Amino acid sequence: MNFRDLLGKELLFFDGAMGTMLQARGLKPGELPELWNFTHADVIKEVHTAYLKAGVNIVKTNTFGANRLKFVGTDIKTADVVAAGVRNAKEACSGFEKTFVALDLGPTGKLLAPYGDLPFEEAVDIYAEIVRAGSAAGADLVLIETMSDTYETKAAILAVKENCDLPVVVTMTFDIDGKLLTGGDVAAAALMVEGLGADAIGFNCGLGPAQMQKLLPQLLSFTSLPVVLNPNAGLPVEREGKTCFDVGPEEFANLMYDLIGEGVSVAGGCCGTTPEHIGAMITKCKGLPAGGSRPCNITAVSSYGKAVVFDKAPVIIGERINPTGKPRLKEALQNEDYDYICRLGLEQINAGSHVLDVNVGMPGIDEAAVISKAVPALQAITDTPLQIDTSNYEAMERALRLYNGKPMLNSVNGKAESLEKVLPLVKKYGAVVVALCLDEGGIPLDIAGRVAVAESIIAKAAEYGIASRNIVVDPLALTISTGGENAKVACEVIAAMGKRGINTVMGVSNISFGLPGRELINSVFFTLAMQAGLSGAIINPQSKAMMDAYYSFLALTGVDDGCKEYVSRYADAPKISATIVNEMGLFDAIVKGLIGESKKAAAVALQSEAPLDVINKYMIPALDFVGAGFEKKTLFLPQLLMSADAAKAAFDVIRDFVGGSGDANGEKVIIATVRGDIHDIGKNIVKVLMENYGYRVIDLGKDVPVETVVTAAKEHGAKIVGLSALMTTTVAAMEETIRALRKEVDCKVVVGGAVLTEEYAQSIGADCYAPSAVSAVNYVNEIFSK
């Protein structure tokens, strides 16, 4: 009998804790329990047997932490540990009916990049090794458990799917507020896990049955999968410095009885539960019906932190990360300036975007390479979900794979090639995909033609196992300057899809292409489309007219309950004053660290003076003044930083004035936080200061390998390389980087970081020790004699 045959059809029981059972049998804190698969195989089998006698169907192998990171520096082979774990469980199961061995995968113990230092693909590889060994040894299913990070969970599910055909159950650990350790909520996690093709989903560890009961309704509503619950024997309580679990077997059984009735398909236990707990539960609950699968019609995307549901209020998808017609963004993409891309994202989030469209396609760049850096860079600063927007299939797959959450993909269309290439990716990575109403015949001009294309895409997707709730149709807005019916057709397609229960999304501003006063047309068309039932709009959220239309529409249709959102947005809107009082000069504004004043002053100065003069006469002297004050200790770090922000704001005004490449001619300086070090605040301060002085800073980021620094220094012919390291443990990497630079490049090296001193810097071969950001800039100025 196969696990999939029973899952969701009859109530099944998982076993309980292994770890706490082994501790009771002498496992020491800090000792690796997985090694007991060899050294204490009899004890492991005894624990399995105790649970089997209590009546469980599924035993978890003792392989929770059996990954190669744990065995570094030993000659222990992960595959052997895993095989022994499966073997012990299988041997224990023999003689018991209707039992299955679950290959147990726990967290790697590392936080994945960009939040920690384990690369995503390495995490996939670590799990893949365990999965291959476990399936070869004869596991019946895979249990991915105690996951507290969606990204690591994704790596594990991909590893299972790519290396075996076994069923996969995923249980994650939420806290009492329903949050993962990395901040995700139940909805965000459930959407991603189901999208990636898990067979069942649930909660384990962290909480007891009573606390899980509060989170269960959310899980049941956001997934159609069978639900699994493996709670602790109550919330852990600290007593006398020890962790205790207070819920006894009878109480556990009663609580689980109630929970199972709410729709659970598999029940078991985690920390603190014993064969007595599980036995009591089985006695009480055996024969109850399994919850099974439920219909779920929610269309939603997620990031690691939150879900965005296509519901009553249309979803705003910010369109500005797209290089078409944006010279500044093109320049940033060519220079791989991901900070600029992230700022574009933040501006749109602050303006009200719920999702960010990410399109980095332009001639002359490796789109797949750039998008695989842009997506993690954006996800390192925001939990706003992303819409991956590309027609390059390689870029599409790389971005979908690296994306942390349930992605939105723009787009597929009705052409055979697009369907064949895109739909398998949508299925594998669990995306919500935008379906464009066009095919080999082009864009049908009439409503029926477009609806027919949409229907054919939905039908084709169903063949790949993609539910229609994961498709949002783009009716395609064609400009009204070439066809008077175009707005009407788009709106009617929206309405027609709405009637079929299909969500829609549209790039709104195309409607006015070729016309003057585009915002006017766009905002009225946006209103019409929302009235027709548009579920998502790809727009510029920084357009006041568009967002005014949006918030007014929500207030008028009652979606904005009690006009709360509208009032909070417009009641206290500042009146624009006609006269500027107390106009401040640029020098003073920067010295005082006033961002708004600096911008205004820069704009005023540019009316009468050349951009270079504005920089040299006001900005540089102001920065020098503040820097000198900092060195003399008449000014302190906060003022220095506020001035840097003000100068940066003024500099941006000047850059926009000269049209994009304001610093392309500046001298190049390379900066990096060295390998192994993930602290970059100091480096980032240095970067901003240097940019304010007009240098072109090539920022290699943090945790930068030696070779990357050397290659960049050669490639850019940089005269100066700045290196940062925060910890004693990473100064060695700094020394190594300097040594490698010396061999191949003629450049000066300036170093900084908390643990460095003048002597230390000299001993590792640096040219200059910069105890502060100001001294680093002073040194660079000196070298370029500015």
Partner 1 sequence: MRYSRAEALRYLRAQANDEAAGILVDTVFLKLRNEVQVRHVLQKHSCTVLEDGVLLDCGVKFTSRSLAKHLEGCAEVLLLAATLGSKVDVAIRRLALGSVAEGAAAQAVAACLIEGYCDEVQERVETTLKQRPRFSPGYGDWDLAEQRKLFAILECEKKLGLTLTDGLMMAPSKSVTAVIGLSESVACVWNKCMQCGNTSCPYREGS
Part of the chain binding partner 1 (CB under 8 A), chosen from 143-151, 407-415, 664-672, 761-769: 143-151
Question: Which residues face 104 on adjacent strands?
Answer: 143
Q: Compute the distance between CA of residue 3 and CA of residue 346 in angstroms, rounded to an integer.
A: 46
Which of these segments, 207-215, 240-248, 276-284, 357-365, binds partner 1 (CB under 8 A)?
240-248
Q: Which of 46, 251, 337, 339 binds partner 1 (CB under 8 A)?
A: 339
CB 607, min distance to partner 1, A: 27
Nearer to partner 1 among residue 374 and residue 685 (C-beta): 685
C-beta closer to partner 1: residue 204 or 387: 204
CB of 663 to partner 1, least distance (A): 17
Residue 179 near partner 1 by CB under 8 A: yes
Map residue 405 onto helix, strand or coil.
Answer: coil
Instruction: Out of 16, 305, 376, 662, name the contact with partner 1 by CB under 8 A.
Output: 305
- Residue with Cβ nearer partner 1 (70 or 488): 70
> How many other C-beta atoms lie within 10 A of the C-beta of residue 147?
27
- Is residue 109 involved in binding partner 1 (CB under 8 A)? yes
Under 8 Å CB-to-CB from 525, ≥6 apart: which residues? 477, 487, 508, 511, 512
Whether the Cβ atoms of residue 653 and residue 678 lie closer than 8 Å to each other: no
Q: How far is the CB of 379 from partner 1 (least distance, A)?
A: 9
User: Measured from the CB atom, is 28 or 575 closer to partner 1?
Assistant: 28
352 near partner 1, rule: CB under 8 A: no
Q: Does 569 bind partner 1 (CB under 8 A)?
A: no
* Amino acid of residue 591: V
Residue from the set 34, 149, 194, 560 that interacts with partner 1 by CB under 8 A: 149
| Cβ 238 to partner 1 shortest distance, Å | 6
Task: Please enumerate in sequence order all residues whose Cβ is within 8 A of that of 781, keeping only pairs 6 or more positions apart, or say none.
Answer: 693
Residue 700's alpha-carbon distances to 167, 341, 691, in angstroms, are 42, 15, 15
**In this structure, are residues 387 and 410 in contact, taking their beta carbons and an 8 Å threshold?**
yes
111 binds partner 1 (CB under 8 A): yes
182 lies in the site for partner 1, by CB under 8 A: yes
Give least dist CB 747 to partner 1, A. Answer: 25
The answer to whether 335 contacts partner 1 (rule: CB under 8 A) is no
β-pair partners for 487: none
**Residue 68 contacts partner 1 per CB under 8 A:** no
Q: Does 243 bind partner 1 (CB under 8 A)?
A: yes
Cα 757 from Cα 107, distance rounded (Å) = 39
The pairing of strands 315-321 and 307-309 is unpaired
116 is an interface residue for partner 1 by CB under 8 A: yes
757: contact with partner 1 by CB under 8 A: yes
> 220 or 344, CB closer to partner 1?
344
- Would you say 99 or 303 has its CB closer to partner 1? 303
With vertex at residue 473, the alpha carbon angle to CA 467 and CA 478, rounded to the nearest 5 degrees, is 165
Q: Are strands 264-267 and 432-436 parallel, antiparallel or unpaired?
A: unpaired
C-alpha–C-alpha distance, residues 384 and 353, integer Å = 8
Is there a contact between 698 and 664 (Cβ–Cβ < 8 Å)?
no
Amino acid letter, 335: N
Residues 635-694 touching partner 1, rule: CB under 8 A, are 636-639, 641-642, 644-645, 648, 675-679, 681, 684-685, 688
Per CB under 8 A, 110 contacts partner 1: yes
At closest approach, how far in Å is the CB of 427 from partner 1?
A: 30
**Site for partner 1, residues 372 to 411, rule: CB under 8 A:** 380-383
Query: What SS3 class is residue 27?
Result: coil
Give me the helices (H) in 464-575, please.
486-499, 518-532, 544-556, 564-570
Of 723-742, binders to partner 1 (CB under 8 A) are: 726-730, 733
Helices 275-285/41-54 angle, 10° precision:
20
For the bound state, the minimum distance from the C-beta of residue 383 to partner 1, rounded and expressed in Å, comes to: 7
Shortest CB 429 distance to partner 1, Å? 22
Q: How many CB atoms lie within 10 A of CB 584?
A: 18
Q: Kindly state whether residue 242 participates in binding partner 1, applying the rule CB under 8 A.
A: yes
Residue count, binding to partner 1 (CB under 8 A): 63
Instruction: Write the DSSP assignment of 567-587 as a string of letters.
Output: HHHHTTPPPPPSS--S---HH
Applying CB under 8 A, among 121, 125, 175, 446 the residue interacting with partner 1 is 175
Which residues on neighbouring strands pair with residue 434, listed in sequence order? 410, 472
CA-CA distance, 19 to 230, in Å (whole number)?
A: 14
Which single residue is written with the structure tokens 């205004």? 600
Quick one: tokens of 3?
């696990």
| Residue ranges that bind partner 1, judged by CB under 8 A | 28-30, 106-107, 109-111, 115-117, 146, 148-149, 175, 179-183, 238, 240-243, 305, 339, 342-343, 346, 380-383, 593, 595, 636-639, 641-642, 644-645, 648, 675-679, 681, 684-685, 688, 726-730, 733, 754-755, 757
